[in-house]
Amino acid sequence: MTMTAKQRFLTALNRKTPDRLPVTTHHVMPYFLGKYLDNISYQEFFDRFGLDPILWLAEHKPDTVKGEYYDPLQGEPGFLQPRWICSDNWRIERETVPDQEYHTVRYHFVTPVKTLTMSLQSNEYTAWVSERLVKEKSDIDVIEKYAPAPLCDVEAVNRQAASFGERGLVRGFIPGFDIYGQAGCWQDAAVLFGIEPLIMETFTDPPWVHTFLKILQKRKEVYLRSMKGARFDIIEHGGGDASSTVISPQILEDFVLPYDTELTALAHEMGQRVVYHTCGGMMPFLEMIADSQPDAMETFTPASMGGDTRLAEAKKRIGERVCMIGGFDQYHYFQGCTPEETRQAVRRCFEEAGDIFSTPNRH
């Protein structure tokens, strides 16, 4: 029997056998759609290339009982960006910084005791943090006291999920910090403070790092507790700064998984599936991450694209415990090669792992 794309995804995520392997991509960058595909939409991209579609949703709402509201100055949310939540004690102001090599915007988080600042730079391809929000250790106390925690807009999620129907997978994520963040506690801390200084503080001031991670965890817990009944098929957790190409197994064990594992368990309590994302560096961590009991792991990026994955070995070690998402080297086998070379690369992924075949979106 031929399955719908949604049925195919869910069967694979539940560790059963679909009619064929789901084939998709993690993200499609707006730059790629604009430069190479005449600005077609995200969903038109899936149709053009015959992939199994994904609908990404980032539906947040304020806790009006606490006096929170949507940021009135945000404008249209950008790529995978939710609407920001503000209050009279946490206002977001922005300014364009002139005479920079790249387009630069500085964000001011205005609170009753201190204004925190964070800058983003961007080019036609992507955006990155050029000024970290947390500059003094006491800044995390300001975040704890004043930063709102978004709630999940369950009604908006379910309305869009119903409209998407059997077309494909409805995917979300545990919220990162406003402006620029990601799902995992360690990942958010790395964005706000910087990965190199954060690693150093695990040696010089571990109690402060634990306090910081707990503050970020509590904010994410608020969102997760509001997710009950939201019709996501899976939500993303983790982040690239928890990759084995960035940190040691000891830091993962001491500072990453104690907080992220609790969030995974809470997501399960709320009826949500979880995929743990590490941007490809995974081999020394496979069993440790699997022990945190996500439903899936990603992206299993090969060494040829900057990861460390050996698919056959990974499948042997954890393949019966979680769904494996990723594994294909699109950098070397979507261009500059023959069709037969691409087919051979695909067959290798099938033979070595064969859960959800996906391009890892390294760029």
- Model confidence over 4-26: pLDDT tens digits? 999 999 999 999 999 988 999 88
- Please give the residue range of the domain that contains residue 24: 5-82+137-359
Residue 361 has pLDDT above 80, yes or no: no
Residue 252 is given by DSSP the state: I
Residue 362 has pLDDT above 50, yes or no: no
Average of per-residue pLDDT across 161-177: 97
Task: Give domain status of residue 311, yes or no.
Answer: yes
Q: What was the pLDDT predicted at 324?
A: 92
Model pLDDT for residues 109-159, shown as the tens digit of each residue: 999 999 999 999 999 999 999 999 999 999 999 999 999 999 999 999 999
145's enclosing H/E stretch is: helix 139-146
Residue 45 has pLDDT above 50, yes or no: yes
- Interatomic CA distance for residues 301 and 330, integer angstroms: 10
Task: Give domain status of residue 257, yes or no.
Answer: yes
Task: Give domain status of residue 112, yes or no.
Answer: no
Task: Give domain status of residue 95, yes or no.
Answer: no
Task: Give domain status of residue 130, yes or no.
Answer: no
**42 touches 33 (CB < 8 A):** yes
> What CATH number should be reported for the domain holding residue 194?
3.20.20.210
Average of per-residue pLDDT across 68-86: 91
For a pLDDT cut of 90, what percent of the chain falls above it? 79
pTM confidence score: 0.93
Average of per-residue pLDDT across 205-210: 98
Q: What was the pLDDT predicted at 50?
A: 92
Confidence of residue 174 (pLDDT cuts 50, 70, 90): very high
For residue 96, the one-letter residue type is T
Q: Where are the beta strands (DSSP E) in 80-217?
A: 85-86, 91-97, 103-110, 115-122, 127-131, 151-152, 169-173
Confidence of residue 363 (pLDDT cuts 50, 70, 90): very low
Q: What was the pLDDT predicted at 357?
A: 57
**245 touches 278 (CB < 8 A):** no
| Exposure class string for 58-88: b at 16+ Cβ within 10 A, else e | bbbbbbeeeebeebeebeeeeeeebbbbbbe
**338 touches 344 (CB < 8 A):** no
Model pLDDT for residues 227-279, shown as the tens digit of each residue: 999 999 999 999 999 999 999 999 999 999 999 999 999 999 999 999 999 98
Task: Give domain status of residue 96, yes or no.
Answer: no
**What is the phi-psi region of residue 32: left when phi exceeds 0, alpha when psi lies from -120 to 50, beta otherwise?**
alpha
| Closest by CA position to 236, among listed 279, 285, 291, 192 | 279
- Interatomic CA distance for residues 253 and 198, integer angstroms: 15
Three-class SS state of 333: helix
Residue 38 is given by DSSP the state: T
Q: What was the pLDDT predicted at 360?
A: 55
Confidence of residue 82 (pLDDT cuts 50, 70, 90): very high
- Interatomic CA distance for residues 180 and 107, integer angstroms: 11
Model pLDDT for residues 195-204, shown as the tens digit of each residue: 999 999 999 9
- Interatomic CA distance for residues 291 and 280, integer angstroms: 18
**323 touches 10 (CB < 8 A):** no
CB under 8 A, 24+ apart: contacts of 98-104: 102/130, 104/130
**37 touches 45 (CB < 8 A):** yes
Alpha helices in 228-329 (DSSP H): 249-251, 257-269, 286-291, 311-318
Give me the torsion for CA of 42, 233, 81, 194, rounded to 10°: -120
Task: Give domain status of residue 93, yes or no.
Answer: no
Token pair 């955006």 in the structure block, residue? 127
Average of per-residue pLDDT across 180-184: 91
Q: Which two tokens stand for residue 342?
A: 């691409």
Domain count for the chain = 1
Three-class SS state of 23: strand
Task: Give domain status of residue 63, yes or no.
Answer: yes
Q: What was the pLDDT predicted at 305?
A: 87
Provide the sign of the torsion angle of the four alpha carbons 279, 27, 175, 125, taken in this order.
positive
